[in-house]
Structure 1
Amino acid sequence: MGQGSSSEVRAPPHELLTKELASRFAERCFTPLELLSLKDVFKSLADHEQGVLYLKEDTVARFLEIPDLLGVSPILFQIVSYIGAFPFLHDAPAVLGLEQIVMVITILTKRYERVLAKGASDRMKLLFGSMAVYDRKHPEPTARDRAGTLEQADTELEAAEDSDGDFDDLVLEAFDYLHSTKFFKKQASISVRDAIVPADNFRKLIMLLLLIAPLDAQESLSLYSDRLAGESLESLRLTAECILAAFLDVEQAPGLRFDRFNTVIPASMPFLFDGFTPLFEHFLFSKNLDFHKHLSEAKDTPIPDLVQPLLQDTASVMNINTLSQLSFFLPGSSLFRRLRLLYSGDDDGFSMGSFETKVFNWRAPTILLVRGTRLLEDTSDRNTGTDSAFLTTLPPRRFRPSRGGTGDRLTFGVYISQPWKHTHRECFGGDDTLLFQLEPFHDVLHASTLNKDYASFTKPSPSTPHAGISFGCPPPQSTQTYRRASTIALGTVSLVLDGSFEFGCFTHDFTSKGGAFGTSQTRKFDFQERFEIESLEVWGCGSDEEAKNQAERWAWEAREAEARRRINLGTGDIEADRALLEMAGLVGGNRSGGSMG
């Protein structure tokens, strides 16, 4: 009585909103069986202290079967502890209770898209923040420190709210979803201005991402333990180094900055973190609720565990780690357990005729991989023989190599969704064609709309003095005026393989802004790589149906060739040959096929 009621509305406690968001995530992003399994798994793994159930670092690493050899468990736990604090990221690292694990799984498996549609594509800053540390040489100033007065700080905060650099859309939408934006909008700020991801940490994480790339949700990571020994482990490390090189020069920078992180991933490896989905979905499959197990026990007959190999064929360039690297920018569903080796220069011969025979009948997408060694600088006193002859067919060098020295190994590739065919006046390929480099630097160049000179296959003829395979170059037949020209017409962003499959040339004319392929988003300078080919492979992407159709076409062509040979040369069986010719309408009636005797 006599006291006015306060109109001030207090902000809900963090714990209450965290429980509310976790409850909504659990209801909207998980099935009842998944949620039941998650609770059972958490209960079986959790430690207990002062009435609180939580997961420790070694428990998480052991459950997910993270290999000790990689030394990545502390980094992964840092990521999990940070994301577990969502949306109150300033409270990180979080104690990993059940609500926090719900947050982690929802975000790392991208299930949040079912609830937070507006921020579905914006988790880059969140992922970067989960891995980052702050550069102690350049401590992050607060708004008050930068502005000097509270009023100026408020002004700067308002300006920051209007920018894209200080607030994370995913966090903002989470607060909006809880109707608490007005209370906690400042909590949505994720400052990455002075944050870095240490190079060694990111290298270890890349090795883990390569390892888990082919993982299925119910598949044990221990099945891939053979990739962590001997030559396979060395290959894993080398592949990780090539990917790391796309983010930073480890000799020049101690760590990765957000701007580079946010540029490289969308352009060159949009599926880099997709392996987190099956890895963390392991929490959603409780062994106590394994219905397949109970069914097997009931019938007293074990269910065989048949595992199809990730890569059915072996070759020089392609291996499991290369396959995982490809899955960072090509959907893994079309790669793992789906590739077939169509052509290998090592086995089939380095010739365009052999290439045509093996590849042209495949009616599904293909991946071409070429590996070589960088050539010497093209000066007349240092190059002799076939390499000198090849260099004379190229325009005078305008650009230096990207980096490294003579003898460095280079690997390039192309993804083409359309079937291969002979090039006449127009190239083939669609706007989903990708030109890429795998080593020593990972880079992906997307097809542009400036022209459609995506791919060409040109065999030697009087009208085509420069036979071979090219990507991003105009077809030789389309330039009749210059068909006797002594040099190859290189595209501004292009890859050329000569007709003998001995040499190749990759050109990146950044100044021109690209042609059939756009310029690199990560190497914004001009360069050219000239190399001697060591290995050339073409892999078919497709199901058993494509492989069956290809085999049938090969068999049909073989029968047709044999039929033509028998007609032309005869079989030695006069009556059989006469009957075949009569069926073809070549003899009989008023026609005469000449003497059969």
Structure 2
Amino acid sequence: MGQALSNHGDTERRTHEELRKVLATKFLEKCFSPLESYSLKDNFKSLADAQQGTLYLSDDVLTRFLEIPDVLHVSPVLFQMLSSVGAFPFQSDAPVILGFEETVIAITLLTGRWERVLSKGVSDRRRLLFKSLAVYDREHNAVGLSQEKDDDLNGKSSKSADDAVKLQSHAPGFAVDKAGDEDADYDALAADDEDDLMLSAFDALHIDETFRVGNKETIHGAMIPSDNFRRLLTLLLLIAPIGPQERLSQYTVDVEPLRAAADSILSSFLNVEKSPGIKYKAFNRVMDLLPHILDPLNALFEHFLFSKNLDFNKHRNEETKPSTSHAPEPLPPLLPQTASILNHATLSQLSFFLGGSTLFRRLRLLYSGDRDGFSMGSFESGVFRWRAPSILLVRGSRISSSDSSNERSPASLPSRRFQDDSKSEKVTFGLYISQPWRDTHKQCFGDSDTTLFQLEPIHDVLKASSVNKDYVSFLRPNSGGANAGVAAGNPPPRPSASHRRASTTHLGSVSLLLDSSFEFGVFTHDYTLRGGAFQNSMLRKKDFQTYFEIESLEVWGCGGEEEAKRQAAEWAFEEREAEARRKINLGTGDIEADRALLELAGLIGGHRSGGSMS
């Protein structure tokens, strides 16, 4: 096979379909086990429609097989993605008919199994998916050239009027992944038209450089329509918890929370009021903040790798028991307890940057303001004994800078320094802490894994700094120090700051502060100052503050039942030890024996007299 494709002349005589067949064969042999290969073939054969001797997958059949809910309206987007990825490595052919070879290629790439054949481009799946979802909208680009500015380029001008006239001369409509004139936004990508994943595929097919140039593609001018991406995000949020063999129909579809979370994530990629779609630079930037957002696609498309004909329990007692169809067993709940903030959508949203392995069915509600009361005492009682990582979530109503109501004035917080970030009424912030909570007086706690984030109305992730380590603090109101309450990114009281008033609250450049009464909170982003415990936002390069009135506050412990049992055993041991110390039997009349026992316990001896033993 390699010799047959070893020279340019023979490669030219091969069609793209024949070359894709060669690549699909390599994928089947090296990227899947024999049972997975059999399942893939069996599922395709049972699902495929036939037309003029050609077997292919249709949109409707794919939707039914994957059990995609109709209410999401995402099937056309998903089918476009598959039809484009199936054209790999000749994306100029997209969209293609999903024959067997195209289906094998698409599933191999979407499940991340190509590494055994393609040695390069492991990090390029996001680029491939962008191209599979992207369109080139001539009409929108022609109309918006004089208006659209990329925030990343600080308002650089777009195309000239002559370019707009040229664009208007084209027929309107969408051309999937077709190159148009280069936008100024993509100057930084001009030298990166070919990705390593495609080059590695050409190497695997023994295609030489001359043939590659003729098949070169570009992403300049391409964008993902915002509505299409919103639908895909809604699907990703729904399927985030599923395992490879779990059926999507086993999950209840509550559309409104999913769409609300999808809107918040979409706001990270673009301003939907100013731009009709997502361009590659913005797409790539936000994907860095959401490293696990594509993980749900693995489990979804791995359904092709499990054939019902491979059910080894299918024929057991077949002669004695009639054939009946059993409904799948109900899955355990994603969360053991219900709460105000955390639900399926929010949990999936967290999994996009924290990973789902420690979240789904592995969280335990340690503290809830609705259940336990909004006080630092109840917070400490519920949270401080948890010895594993935890997640704090706080939701509230934004207090506008123009709000003069005395009833909503946060007197416990410092006065405003910056303007509001948005006009959204509801805000949700959070904090991931890998260390146990503790009191702070002179030094904060936390480590480089500590993460400050916002979930609503925009999804943003603020990673810990390696220089400033003022990550998390917990100060009671009677501690006599500043910054009383729960804070992230704020400096704690230090002896060197004794000349300052103890009542003065010092906000970090990137920080979240919840006052000691748990009534108000403030999120500060001083982009100009920088140098804080958390890095500046990659999405909002400006100074702003968000003041809000707290409505819900929750802390969830990571680790699930196993961690809870282990810690319950530790707590039980501590209780037994404390009870044993309380039951020390003194006063037996043997003064020397009692003194020896107290010295052994460290209660007397040295500089401690321990009182009279007589």
TM-score, normalising length from structure 2? 0.83
Residue 248 of structure 2 corresponds to 221
Residue 452 of structure 1 corresponds to 469
For 1:293 and 1:277, the matched residues in 2 are separated by 26
Deviations 1:146-192 (A, max 9, x none): 9xxxxxxxxx9xxx999543222211221122220424323664422
For 1:7 and 1:49, the matched residues in 2 are separated by 34
- 1:38 aligned to 2:55? no
Q: Which of 380, 403, 406 is equivalent to 1:383? A: 406
Q: Which of 446, 460, 464 is equivalent to 1:443? A: 460
AA in 2 matched with 1:362: W
Q: Which of 547, 572, 585 is equivalent to 1:530? A: 547
Shift of 1:319: 0.6
Q: How does 1:155-174 map to 2 (within 5 A)?
A: 163-174=190-201
Unmatched runs of 5 consecutive residues or more in structure 2: 1-6, 143-158, 168-181, 604-609
Q: Which moved more, 1:497-506 or 1:317-326?
A: 497-506
- 1:283 aligned to 2:304? yes
Residue 20 of structure 2 corresponds to 18
The answer on whether the counterparts of 2:398 and 2:547 sit within 8 Å (CA) in structure 1 is yes
Deviations 1:266-317 (A, max 9, x none): 12x1211211101100001010112243457599699994622111111111
Q: Which of 429, 444, 447 is equivalent to 1:430? A: 447
The answer on whether the counterparts of 2:39 and 2:306 sit within 8 Å (CA) in structure 1 is yes
Residue 120 of structure 1 corresponds to 122
For 1:488 and 1:476, the matched residues in 2 are separated by 10
Shift of 1:518: 0.6
TM-score, normalising length from structure 1? 0.85
Q: 1:161 to 1:197 in 2, by over 3 A?
A: closer
The answer on whether the counterparts of 1:464 and 1:483 sit within 8 Å (CA) in structure 2 is no
Q: 1:117 to 1:287 in 2, by over 3 A?
A: same
AA in 2 matched with 1:434: T
Shift of 1:338: 0.7
Please give the secondary structure, in 1, of the residue aligned with 2:352: coil
Please give the secondary structure, in 2, of the residue aligned with 1:275: helix
Q: How does 1:496-515 map to 2 (within 5 A)?
A: 496-515=513-532
- 1:132 aligned to 2:140? no
Residue 333 of structure 2 corresponds to 309
Residue 30 of structure 2 corresponds to 28
For 2:86 and 2:485, the matched residues in 1 are separated by 54
For 2:341 and 2:560, the matched residues in 1 are separated by 22
Residue 507 of structure 2 corresponds to 490
Q: 1:388 to 1:102 in 2, by over 3 A?
A: closer
For 2:443 and 2:320, the matched residues in 1 are separated by 62
Shift of 1:482: 4.6
Q: 1:295 to 1:313 in 2, by over 3 A?
A: farther
Q: 1:585 to 1:440 in 2, by over 3 A?
A: same
Shift of 1:501: 1.4
Deviations 1:510-567 (A, max 9, x none): 1223411111111111111111111111111114332013223444555677778889
Q: Which of 234, 256, 265 is equivalent to 1:207? A: 234
For 1:483 and 1:199, the matched residues in 2 are separated by 50
Q: Size of the alignment, in residue pairs?
A: 555
Residue 413 of structure 1 corresponds to 430
AA in 1 matched with 2:21: K
Deviations 1:556-596 (A, max 9, x none): 555677778889xx9xxx99xx9xx9996599xxx99899x
Unmatched runs of 5 consecutive residues or more in structure 1: 1-5, 147-155
Residue 245 of structure 1 corresponds to 267
Residue 358 of structure 1 corresponds to 382
Please give the secondary structure, in 2, of the residue aligned with 1:176: helix
- 1:53 aligned to 2:55? yes
- How large is the Cα RMSD of the aligned pairs? 3.5
Please give the secondary structure, in 2, of the residue aligned with 1:332: coil
Q: 1:296 to 1:203 in 2, by over 3 A?
A: farther
Residue 153 of structure 1 corresponds to none
AA in 2 matched with 1:93: P
For 1:67 and 1:121, the matched residues in 2 are separated by 30
The share of aligned pairs that are identical, in percent, is 55
- 1:323 aligned to 2:347? yes
